[in-house]
Amino acid sequence: MIFKSAYVTVFTALFNLINPSLDDKANAGTASFYAKKFEGKRTSSGQRYRATQRTAAHRTYPFGTLLEITNRDNGLKTIVRVNDRGPHSKSRLIDLSYLAAKDLGLIRSGTAEVSMKVISYGNERDSREIEGETKEEKSEIASIFSTTKSDFLEKKYQYMIVEKQADGNLKIVYSDVKPK
């Protein structure tokens, strides 16, 4: 069994070396953003859409998945959390919240060519937990997120884990290993 796992891992690594652009093509496309009329409406995850949060709609990624979105025209980046299904237009890859679209500089044009990179996969439970947090906890997460975003992007880690300590404080852990 170990030999089989090692073989699959080596094969996958070699395949990615030979054809590195395959993943890029699957994660590149056109992004758009939510219209103002959706403010406060329920998303597919049950959360309400808020233009002031960095969220996104994607057809297949689990709710709670964190994605790094890069505008291919200007290089601007942002990190969003998937909390909705869409976009409904087949020509679009992802729908972004207003704030995420603003981060990427696509408010004026309405759309942009972007690339996506998965930071960490979520699950249904992730989104439900975030919805149930108090205003103070959400504010604390937002301030930690904004100060650590650039650190995270510069260090090129694959995962950023926010852990809530027993004393109620939040701790950021960067890792190349997927959390369990």
Q: Is the pLDDT of residue 6 over 50?
A: no
Q: Which two tokens stand for residue 21?
A: 């652009």
Q: Give the tens place of pLDDT for each residue, 54-78.
A: 999 999 999 999 999 999 999 999 9
Type of residue at 150: S
Domain spans of the chain, in order of start? 20-126, 133-180
What are the Cα distances from residue 44, in Å, to 59, 89, 128, 139? 11, 16, 11, 23
Q: What is the pLDDT of residue 149?
A: 54
Q: What percent of the chain has pLDDT over 70?
A: 57
Type of residue at 56: A
Q: Is the pLDDT of residue 90 over 80?
A: yes
Q: Give the tens place of pLDDT for each residue, 91-117.
A: 999 999 999 999 999 999 999 999 999
Residue pointed to by tokens 């108090």: 134
Read off φ and ψ for residue 121, nearest 5 degrees: -85, 140
Whole-model pTM?
Answer: 0.60
CATH topology of domain 20-126: Barwin-like endoglucanases (2.40.40)
Q: Which two tokens stand for residue 119?
A: 């930071």
